[in-house]
């Protein structure tokens, strides 16, 4: 069977179910709320796999699922050379959020990335260690700052409440996902001019390394027209 991985809970799961439902494919949880079991109606040969959004890039890369719905930010950050491992089938139009770089609002002289680079160099001279940027998006942030010529920083891992790391003195700046910016403002943080790293949204991906034999490829050929999609080149 063709395995379709989708988020297992929350608004992202609901919107995923709605997107497929609007195209004639009904996804539903089965069993109790604590069971990660599901069913697919409207296309033979498709098995629903409920996973956390963060697990889906790994399962796609490993070929344990054929298709998966997750944020474009997660795929790009967690999979090196991601276009070689997955193919983008569709942007789903929900789950929008921006990965941004933000500094304390009181840093009135730091407006741009060039300003940040200068501030990072001055910070290292004054304190003897590199300016700390808290984030969980290490690959995306590192590649972005390298492309922008920012040096003299270090990334500090933060898997939650990243906006609070500056107030708690564990970082001087942050790189995190935001939708409205309200949490940033509440924590007296400001997005740098030119500090947009990635515009993320929910995407449907296909695993290039999955086993597409034993009927999975034929199921995909039937499923894609139902969803109004075409098969990507090389899959």
**How far is the C-alpha of 75 from the C-alpha of 205, rounded, in Å?**
9
The answer as to whether 234 is a domain residue is: no
Where residue 233 falls among pLDDT bands split at 50, 70, 90? confident
Residues 91 and 104 placed together within one structural domain of the fold: no
Structural domain count of the chain: 2
Residue 200 above 90 pLDDT? yes
Where residue 234 falls among pLDDT bands split at 50, 70, 90? confident
Residue 35 above 80 pLDDT? no
What confidence tens digit (pLDDT) does each residue in 163-172 have? 999 999 999 9
Residues 137 and 184 placed together within one structural domain of the fold: yes
Give me the mean pLDDT over the 205-216 stretch.
95
The answer as to whether 232 is a domain residue is: no
Nearest of 81, 47, 53, 51 to residue 66 by alpha carbon: 47
3-state secondary structure 183-234: HHHHCCEEEEEEEEEEEECEEEEEECCCCCCCCHHHHHHHHHHHHCCCCCCC
The answer as to whether 78 is a domain residue is: yes
Tell me the average pLDDT of the chain. Answer: 94
The answer as to whether 133 is a domain residue is: yes
- Residue 142 sits in a domain of what CATH number? 3.40.190.10
* Residue span of the structural domain in which 33 resides: 2-96+202-227
Residues 83 and 137 placed together within one structural domain of the fold: no
Sheet holding 153-157, edge to edge: 153-157, 131-135, 173-178, 97-104, 189-200
Where residue 125 falls among pLDDT bands split at 50, 70, 90? very high
The answer as to whether 233 is a domain residue is: no
């Amino acid at each position: 069977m063709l395995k379709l991985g989708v988020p297992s809970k929350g608004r992202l799961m609901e919107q995923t179910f709605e997107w497929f439902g609007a195209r004639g494919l009904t996804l539903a949880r089965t069993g109790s709320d604590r069971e990660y079991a599901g069913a697919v109606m409207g296309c033979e040969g498709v098995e629903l796999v409920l996973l956390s959004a963060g697990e889906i890039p790994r399962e796609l890369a490993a070929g344990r699922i054929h298709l998966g719905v997750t944020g474009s930010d997660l795929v790009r950050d967690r999979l090196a050379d991601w276009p070689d491992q997955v193919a983008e089938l569709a942007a789903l139009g929900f789950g929008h959020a921006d990965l941004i770089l933000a500094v304390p609002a009181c840093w009135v002289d730091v407006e741009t990335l060039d300003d940040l680079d200068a501030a990072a160099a001055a910070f290292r001279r004054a304190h003897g260690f590199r300016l700390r940027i808290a984030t969980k998006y290490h690959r995306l942030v590192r590649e972005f700052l390298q492309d922008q010529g920012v040096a003299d920083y270090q990334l500090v891992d933060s898997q939650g409440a990243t906006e609070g790391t500056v107030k708690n003195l564990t970082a001087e700046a942050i790189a995190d996902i935001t939708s409205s910016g309200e949490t940033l403002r509440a924590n007296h943080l400001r997005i740098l001019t030119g500090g947009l790293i990635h515009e993320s949204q929910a995407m449907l991906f296909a695993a290039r390394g999955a086993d597409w034999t034993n009927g999975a490829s034929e199921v995909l050929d039937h499923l894609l027209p139902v969803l109004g999609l075409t098969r990507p080149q090389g899959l």
